[in-house]
Amino acid sequence: MQANWLSPLLTALDEAPASVEFFLRDDDAGWGDDRLLEMLEVVGGHGLPIDLAVIPRAIGTDLAQPLSHLHAQWDGRLGLHQHGLAHHNHEPDGRKCEFGPTRGPDAQRRDLLEGRDLLESLLPGITQPVFTPPWNRCQPVTAELLANLGFQVLSRHAGDAPASVPGLIELPVSVDWSYARRDRRRLSFTELGVLAAQRATLAQPVGINLHHAVMDRRELELLDDLCSVLAGHRAARCLPLLAIATDSGDR
């Protein structure tokens, strides 16, 4: 029996007039390697795809090697893409941001190129032209730079205003596993289940943002419940991020 927190989502899927697309995006690969591999074991056990946002300066060969191996094993179900450069906050005030207003285009371009080169050296030929900024925040100039450098997809939060840069597809996440309200209180899993159900009724892809580094054993069990729904419900279609983005860009 599925956990009670997923009851609203199951109801929404039961009543959906058409299939609902989902994608899983996990941030901060390079931190908490053991937890990352445990999380991938859960997702992989259901045969689902997942996209990892990889911190270029954090990943080393100890993680790159098993990820390369899994990428080959999973046959297109494991996506790997760039997550900033070092996940470092450059803003002296306000919200944390690596690609924020205090950094000009030249500095941002250097970081984007360095990060891309680092990932290519560790994960040769298997990283995708997708960019997730740390803390899901970046500036309009960042989006312009991404397009100029050949990135195809920018993935942030659904609440962010679209950058609307020609040639750059935006595919945001809308359900954040570790979502914090403005009062700094994290949503309960009951509230997350309601949010996921609401998003599933909007006729848009539902991006679920995971954070393996802060997920304990109990949360992995809850993730297992969610994966059971995404893999088993007739109305749920869990797809790779890039596949959804490129399909939407062709419409």
Give the pLDDT mean for 210-235.
96
Q: What is the DSSP string of 87-100?
A: -----SSSS--SB-
Q: What is the per-residue pLDDT for 251?
A: 54
Q: What is the DSSP string of 176-227?
A: ETT-B-TTSPBPPHHHHHHHHHHHHTSSS-EEEEE-GGG--HHHHHHHHHHH
The model's pTM is 0.95
Residues 13-41 pLDDT 10s? 999 999 999 999 999 999 999 999 999 99
CATH at residue 234: 3.20.20.370
Say if residues 205 and 21 touch (Cβ distance below 8 Å).
yes
Say if residues 50 and 244 touch (Cβ distance below 8 Å).
no
Q: What is the per-residue pLDDT for 180?
A: 63
Confidence of residue 248 (pLDDT cuts 50, 70, 90): confident
Confidence of residue 184 (pLDDT cuts 50, 70, 90): low
Q: What is the per-residue pLDDT for 3?
A: 75
Beta-carbon contacts of residue 239 (< 8 Å; ≥ 6 apart): 21, 22, 23, 49, 205
Higher pLDDT, 187 or 1: 187
Give the pLDDT mean for 146-152.
98
Confidence of residue 250 (pLDDT cuts 50, 70, 90): low
Give the domain range for residue 79. Answer: 4-250
Confidence of residue 1 (pLDDT cuts 50, 70, 90): very low
Give CA–CA dist 245/223, Å, rounded: 24
Residues 34-83 pLDDT 10s? 999 999 999 999 999 999 999 999 999 999 999 999 999 999 999 999 99
H/E segment holding residue 27: strand 20-29
Q: What is the per-residue pLDDT for 179?
A: 74
Count of domains for the chain: 1
Higher pLDDT, 45 or 184: 45
Residues 100-145 pLDDT 10s? 999 999 999 999 999 999 999 999 999 999 999 999 999 999 999 9
79: which DSSP letter?
A: E
Q: What is the per-residue pLDDT for 2?
A: 53
119: which DSSP letter?
A: H
Whole-number Cα distances in Å, 66 to 78, 82, 161: 12, 17, 36
Residues 79-98 pLDDT 10s? 999 999 999 999 999 999 99
Q: Which two tokens stand for residue 207?
A: 């991006």
